[in-house]
A and B are shown apart, each in its own frame.
Chain A
Amino acid sequence: GNSVTQMEGPVTLSEEAFLTINCTYTATGYPSLFWYVQYPGEGLQLLLKATKADDKGSNKGFEATYRKETTSFHLEKGSVQVSDSAVYFCALSRMDTGRRALTFGSGTRLQVQP
């Protein structure tokens, strides 16, 4: 079956530090890959996505590249801000016999200190 593995958190960084959150997946075929962000007390918001190998998704300074050879979709940002503190979820989606739900990783909490 499909699965997503994320690095455990929390990840604690100082403002302006470089961020990497690792994500690897297991799926047959060609899934679409997503990063969602959940701010405290809110629902999930789509951060970025990539739908085929070597695609790079980017948004708000965050980037992730779909690497089929390593089955990875690591999230990066060059300079984090306090406002980036949230829980980040890696997810994949596959169209299996009409079933199209997201499979999520366990989430990684990011804490950015001033």
Chain B
Amino acid sequence: DTAVSQTPKYLVTQMGNDKSIKCEQNLGHDTMYWYKQDSKKFLKIMFSYNNKELIINETVPNRFSPKSPDKAHLNLHINSLELGDSAVYFCASSQGAMSNQPQHFGDGTRLSIL
């Protein structure tokens, strides 16, 4: 069984469109994250939710809006897509407040803006 699953795996769309990426985890974790990986493989945190509450919101354009309907789901909606949004987006989850707990990652969603 997949622990952290993201859909879609690939997303190709045009500039200006609005799109969503979905993430679900079946690990029973209470914290979920979105990371962005650029073309040079650099990974950076975007958002984090703990028990459906937003706890990290990095310097991300407000065109990006995360939504957590429950602890097992964290979706990412992107408005007015721009060329610079092309990247791989990873969802992750972890359990508990202690920093020594590892995060579990999905396989990523490769977003390509034409």
Contact = CB atoms under 8 A, between A and B. Distances in A.
Interface of A: 31-32, 34, 36, 38, 41-46, 49, 51, 87, 89, 93-95, 98-104, 106-107, 109
Contacts, number: 65
Nearest to B46: A101
Contacts of B106: 43
Interface residues of B, number: 28
Interface of B is mostly: strand
8 contacts: A32-B99, A34-B102, A43-B108, A46-B103, A89-B43, A100-B31, A106-B41, A107-B42
B74 to A, nearest CB: 13
Interface of A is mostly: strand
B55 interface: yes
